[in-house]
Homo-oligomer: A and B are copies of this chain.
Amino acid sequence: MVNTLFLPELREMLAQHNEVELREFCEALHPSRTADFMDGLTPDEAWQILKFADQEKAGEIFGFFEHSFQKDIIETQNRDEIAALIAELSSDDRVDILSDVDSEIKEDLLRRLPADDRRDIMRLSQYPEGTAGSMMATEFMKLSENLTIGDAIKEVGKQSEYFETIYYVYIVDDEGHLRGVVSARQLLAGLRSPQTKLADIMESALITVKTRDDQTEVVKKVARMDLLAIPVVDDENHIVGIITHDDVIDVVREEAQDDLVKSAAIEPLEDTYLNTSILTFSYKRGLWLLVLFLGSLMTATALQSYDRQLEAWAWLVPFIPMIISTGGNSGNQSATLIIAALVHGEVTVRDWFRVVTREIIMGILLGLKLGFVGYLIVVFLFPSVPGFPQVLVVPITLVMVILTGTVMGATLPLFFKRLGLDPALMSNPFVAGIVDILGILIYLTVAGLFLAPPELG
């Protein structure tokens, strides 16, 4: 996808066993770029190349491969070598990757890992997907509040080879309860007074999440408070892991894509568009397409019950799709705005009165605007429409249908949220269905009011 120009050269280097250049290839670039350049290789080829990097670099590059490619490599290559690689990966990444690997292979790999790593993986695997526990990593630095700054710096220096990045140093009491946090900056600045206790410089107004908290809670806190990392604690306030900014960005991006996809009535994907099989799509799309289809069946039934009127007033028929789509569009706009505001925490269910009031005003404004345009169009472009008062049927219907759209679009997402359902997935289909059928009923009722008297007369 990114750059396949380099693949022939890589393959040539492999064929020639060109150790110098392959090592250079693995070491010279940021590991994410090395991984990008390897996109398109077979799992065998990629694994051969990674062997030219040192263990740590190989782990970093591997961590940037696409999920499905990681799985293919793990399932096909030498188990002992793969186990050594897994030991290098960060604690959260390897749990994610292993969760999709064939369970027999996973068992086999776990047996080959050092006992510490195995226990760590087993423990992290217990947390259900979507919780803070499932996002956290266990590479964090924990020091006693009784240490001095000088001791702490020595300890950090010693441990730093095990940690890729030191975001914060977490300070605990004798029972391991989280008491505070100290940044690398504070330690460096504290070099001038190495005898000071950590307890005296630590920040104790801590922001934490619990292992069972939902990932959206994590995102909200980290994004709102501009944190580099947030500590995860158990029910007794022992620190058990941290969630870092990069994992939060990933979740934000995934959730954004899910929300967008859901707005078009599609179940969220687990993989990229091109890696998702057509059969999976056919299920994820077909389900809601069918629901929407069955919903629109009601419009057919409603129209059928008005068949006599429609035969008598045939000039009404051409405007049906226009009226239905306009109502649907205004409802879709309102629903999407409310969903976006709910997702971002700008609006809560308690704001319903304000939201509905706004959307009623909105509906009337938009309705009058489009109703007026509709009036001009009917008068000037559709000679088939009889004169006054019939020319008013379409404009009046437009105002009412647009208002129905905004009100339904405002109400249903809040209603689904209140019921604990997912407004992003449920709202658009229901708004569309309800507005379609109400649109038909409004149109024919308005027509009936205007047209019945002349018929009787």
Q: Which residues of B contact A278 (CB under 8 A)?
A: 358, 361-362, 365
CB of A32 closer than 8 Å to a CB of B: yes
- The segment from A5-13, A44-52, A158-166 found at the interface with B is A158-166
Chain B residues closer than 8 Å to A333, beta-carbon distance? 264-266, 285, 289
Contact with B along A315-331 (1 / 0, CB 8 A): 00111111011101110
Q: Does A228 contact B (CB under 8 A)?
A: yes
User: Does A188 reach chain B (CB closer than 8 Å)?
Assistant: yes
- Which of A191-229 touch B at CB < 8 Å? 191-192, 205, 207, 222-228
Contacts of A320 on B, CB cut-off 8 Å?
303, 317, 320-321
Measured between beta carbons, the chain B residues less than 8 angstroms from A166 are 184-185, 188
Nearest chain B CB to A375's CB is how many angstroms away? Answer: 12
Q: What mask results when residues 227 to 249 of chain A are scored 1 for a CB within 8 Å of chain B, else 0?
A: 11000000000000000011011
Q: CA of A361 to CA of B333 in the docked complex: distance in angstroms?
A: 30
Residues of B close to A161: CB separation below 8 A: 189
Give the interface centre of A259, A317, A344, A348 by most chain B CB atoms within 10 Å: A317
How many residues of chain A are within 8 Å of chain B by beta carbon? 121
With contacts A245-B249, A257-B340 known, is A307 near B318, CB below 8 A? yes
Q: A264-B336, A341-B274 are in contact. Are A157 and B188 (CB under 8 A)?
A: yes
Give 3 nearest A-B pairs by CB, closest first.
Answer: A256-B256, A264-B336, A303-B318
- List 18 A-B residue pairs with CB atoms under 8 Å apart, sorted by A's residue number: A1-B345, A156-B188, A166-B185, A184-B185, A226-B246, A249-B249, A253-B344, A256-B259, A261-B340, A263-B336, A273-B338, A274-B341, A286-B366, A297-B322, A302-B318, A303-B317, A307-B314, A325-B328
Query: What is the interface of chain A, defined by CB distance below 8 A to chain B?
Result: 1, 28-30, 32-33, 64, 153, 156-157, 160-161, 163, 165-166, 183-185, 187-189, 191-192, 205, 207, 222-228, 245-246, 248-250, 252-253, 255-257, 259-261, 263-266, 272-274, 278, 281-282, 285-286, 289-290, 292-294, 296-297, 299-304, 307, 310-311, 314, 317-322, 324-326, 328-330, 332-333, 335-341, 343-348, 351, 354-355, 358, 361-362, 365-366, 369-370, 373-374, 377, 381-382, 384, 402, 432, 436, 440
